[in-house]
Amino acid sequence: MSGSSFDTLELDALKELMNVGFGRAAATLSELMDLHVVLSVPRVELVPIGELASYVANEVDDPKSFNVVEQFFLGKFEGSSFLLLPEEEGRRLVEMLAGEDADADSPLDSLERDTIIEIGNIIIGACVSKVAELLGDVVTYRPPRFATGALDRELLERYVKPGPGMALVMKTLFRFERRDVFGLLFLVTTDSGLGWLKRAVSSWLESLS
Amino acid sequence: MERSVLVVDDSVVARMGMKKILKGFPLAVVEASSGEDALASLEAGLDPSLVFLDLTMPGMGGLNALRELRRRKPDLPVVVVTADIQKATIQEALEAGATEVLPKPAEGGAVLGALARAGLA
């Protein structure tokens, strides 16, 4: 694979780009919900695709019930983005954004789903678009897909087919002040996307030196 | 004596970007990768004319570092450079003593403006 090795500096560059993208998403969300989003330092790692499901499961305390918003992005920077929200946290977000009391015992209704998808759209769009823009690319998106269920291999493999190669995982955790909602964002690039990303980051770094 | 600027950011790349912008000025650029490192530099005798400070950093974080910098050096200009551009964050930084807040990635014109306001350009 062309882009399977990122050195420390290149990973730091990706982390910084992700940081900027997530900052934009947080600003949009805070305007929308009128509350402060607390950002954490993002982590960027290369994970073998075959180990992605167990990697993700290890990142969460209780993988039993999650909402997943997945969106494919196309461009030179190409791949899938995932926003993972524990189901209960998704309901809290709905309450904050739509001002509705969600019934914890009933399945998500269409308004609740739409709200979570919209939140996913904002976060994914801001992060992916900003990373692409800073590296000189323009991406387009496929409509987001929504799923809910246990965050297990079966759920994840609906989106990321197991195979050889590496996935670039950019993970960030966000908290909404006062309500302490948390979620995870992952970007998994395709092989060609990863190769382009490495070249773009190298050339960006050259411009800084 | 050559004046110095302290650049505090956990990202090497962000520090590289800032150093590139500052290259053309007769300023010594000192780097710190955390709030703790920045405070240690001051304890070691560094007396910068201006600080560029990131907020989202591991350890004590930028906001606590800012409060401590302000406590130790009330007149030192501290420019926060952050990706977190929420109004509440900017307000919090200003209340903690930031001289001004610039969005990341730092752009040349904005940095030069901050230098000028600090009397360094």
List the structure tokens of B100: 């001004």
Cβ–Cβ gap B11/A19 under 8 Å: yes
**How would you label B64-91 residue by residue, b for 16+ Cβ within 10 Å and e otherwise?**
bbbebbbeeeeebbbbbbbbbbbebbbe
Cβ–Cβ gap A19/B86 under 8 Å: no
Which structural domain, as residue segments, surrounds residue B94?
3-117
Where residue B19 sits, what CATH number does that domain have? 3.40.50.2300
> How many contacts, defined by CB atoms under 8 Å, are there between A and B?
61
Chain A partners within 8 Å of B101 (Cβ): none
Tally of CB atoms within 10 A around B59: 14
User: Which of A6, A10, A15, A16 to mutate to test binding with chain B, by most B CBs within 10 Å of its CB?
Assistant: A16
Q: What is the pLDDT of residues B44-103, one digit of tens each?
A: 999 999 999 999 899 999 999 999 999 999 999 999 999 998 898 999 999 999 999 999
Cβ–Cβ gap B86/A41 under 8 Å: no
Number of structural domains in chain B: 1
Rounded to the nearest 5°, which phi and psi values hold at A168?
A: -90, 120
Chain A partners within 8 Å of B103 (Cβ): 23
The tens-digit pLDDT sequence of chain A (209 residues) is 444 588 999 999 988 988 898 888 888 888 877 778 877 777 888 888 888 878 877 877 776 788 889 999 999 888 888 888 888 777 777 777 666 666 666 666 777 788 888 888 888 888 888 888 888 899 999 989 898 888 777 777 777 777 777 777 877 777 776 666 667 777 887 777 888 888 999 999 998 88
What distance in Å separates residue B110's CA from the closest CA in chain A?
A: 16
If you classify domain A8-43+58-208 with CATH, what class do you get?
Answer: alpha beta
Distance from the Cα of residue A205 to its chain's centroid: 24
Residue A48 to residue B82: CA distance in whole angstroms: 32
- Is this prediction's ipTM beyond 0.85? no
